[in-house]
């Protein structure tokens, strides 16, 4: 665990599990920007530490990089011992998944049982373990937010993607079960379906340029190939966290304006 110390947050901890160069990093940056101490977790500690350095420097926030393998329950327990040593976890975002080789369909006859089990372990069993680590503290305080990242494979079986779909179906079911059990106790649980291809962050300068354009046509042109901006998606995660409990969202789907039929 590395601490990128700059300023001290008076809020709880935002734990972001599954931080890569796109959505996970953008979510971590958003919560750091809003004043949270952030723990970012993934398998590649070297890359994770670079992200922590970057976010801490840009947002003047306190960021911790912690290695985790979501397919191993022992790794999850050890990682969250580190997270919980930082303080109360107010936000858990579970963004981990087992990537599909080259994102190409695999004939069911060719799917290896080890690969299938690993996908289930990362997509849903890992989410189960992470949620169990933070829920007792959230229930004790009567507040907290758990957000699970899904995709279109959470809703529809897709030929050639049985590993991904089964893991994501189970994650959606877990989210619904936890919402019904724990929302009456003050814990907001929501499932976010990403129905599109996430691109690279466009950055503050790109966002300002887009806002300055006056015509819809110019805005659409600036958005290029229709990929989704992870910084924009991250703002939705933040809005879910700060929702008034009188009208909590339990599931939301996000897609680009020029949405096509995506397979995952």
Q: How far is CA 76 from CA 70, 84, 166, 217, 218, in A?
A: 6, 12, 21, 47, 46
Distance (Å, rounded) from C-alpha 216 to C-alpha 42?
A: 38
Question: Residue 183: is its pLDDT beyond 90?
Answer: yes
3-state DSSP call for residue 175?
A: helix
Residue 255 has pLDDT above 70, yes or no: yes
What is the value of pTM for the model shown?
0.87
Ranges 103-112, 162-171, 212-221, most confident: 162-171
261 within a domain of the structure (yes/no): no
Q: Is 43 in contact with 17 (CB distance < 8 Å)?
A: no
Q: DSSP for 42-106?
A: ES-HHHHHHHHHHHHHHHT--EEEEE--TT-HHHHHHHHHHHHHTS-EEEEEE------GGG---
Q: Tell me the CB-side half-sphere exposure of residue 16, using CA atoms within 13 A.
A: 28
Q: How many CB atoms lie within 10 A of CB 33?
A: 16
Query: Do 92 and 132 touch, CB atoms closer than 8 A?
Result: no
Statement: residue 101 has pLDDT above 80 = no
CA distances to 189, 198, 258 from 151, in Å: 16, 11, 17
What was the pLDDT predicted at 100?
58
Res 93 pLDDT > 50: yes
Identify the pLDDT of residue 9: 47
Number of domains in the chain: 1
Mean pLDDT over 117-139 rounds to 96
Q: CB–CB of 156/195 below 8 Å?
A: no
- DSSP 8-state symbol, 233: H
* Structural contact between residues 11 and 31, judged by C-beta atoms closer than 8 angstroms: no
Residue range 172-198: mean pLDDT, rounded: 96
Are 96 and 126 a contacting pair, CB within 8 Å? yes
Instruction: Give pLDDT tens digits for 133-180.
Output: 999 999 999 999 999 999 988 998 989 889 899 999 999 999 999 999
Confidence of residue 124 (pLDDT cuts 50, 70, 90): very high
Q: Which residues contact 221 (CB under 8 A, 6 or more apart)?
A: none
Which range marks the domain in which residue 29 is found?
Answer: 2-254
CATH number of the domain residue 62 falls in: 3.40.50.720
Contacts of residues 44-48 at CB distance under 8 Å and 24 or more positions apart, as own/partner, are 47/21, 48/19
Average per-residue pLDDT for the chain? 87
DSSP H or E run through 231:
helix 230-242
Mean pLDDT to the nearest integer, 12-29: 96
**Residue labelled with tokens 């950055």:** 203
Q: Give the pLDDT band of residue 220 (cuts 50, 70, 90).
A: very low
Taking alpha carbons only, the member of 40, 17, 14 closest to residue 149 is 17
pLDDT band at 106 (very low <50, low <70, confident <90, very high): confident
Residue 228 lies in a domain: yes
């Amino acid at each position: 665990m590395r601490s990128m110390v700059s300023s001290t947050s008076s809020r709880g901890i935002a734990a972001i599990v599954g931080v890569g160069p796109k959505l996970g990093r953008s979510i971590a940056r958003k919560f750091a920007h809003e004043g949270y101490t952030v723990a970012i977790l993934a398998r590649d500690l070297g890359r994770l530490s670079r992200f922590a350095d970057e976010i801490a420097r840009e947002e003047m926030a306190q960021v911790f990089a912690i290695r985790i393998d979501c397919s191993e329950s022992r790794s999850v327990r050890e990682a969250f011992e580190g997270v919980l040593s930082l303080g109360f976890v107010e936000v858990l975002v579970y963004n981990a998944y087992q990537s599909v080789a080259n994102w190409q369909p695999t004939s069911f006859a060719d799917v290896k049982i080890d690969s299938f089990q690993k996908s289930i372990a990362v997509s849903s069993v890992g989410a189960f373990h992470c949620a169990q680590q933070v829920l007792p503290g959230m229930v004790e305080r009567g507040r907290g937010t758990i957000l699970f990242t899904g995709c279109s494979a959470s809703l529809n079986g897709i030929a050639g993607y049985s590993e991904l779909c089964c893991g994501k179906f189970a994650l959606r079911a877990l989210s619904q079960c936890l919402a019904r059990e724990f929302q009456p106790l003050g814990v907001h649980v929501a499932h976010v379906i990403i129905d599109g291809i996430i691109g690279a962050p466009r950055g503050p300068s790109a966002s300002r340029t887009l806002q300055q354009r006056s015509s819809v046509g110019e805005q659409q042109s600036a958005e290029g190939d229709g990929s989704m901006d992870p910084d924009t998606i991250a703002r939705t995660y933040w809005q879910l966290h700060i929702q008034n409990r009188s009208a909590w969202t339990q599931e939301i789907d996000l897609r680009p304006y020029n949405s096509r039929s995506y397979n995952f």
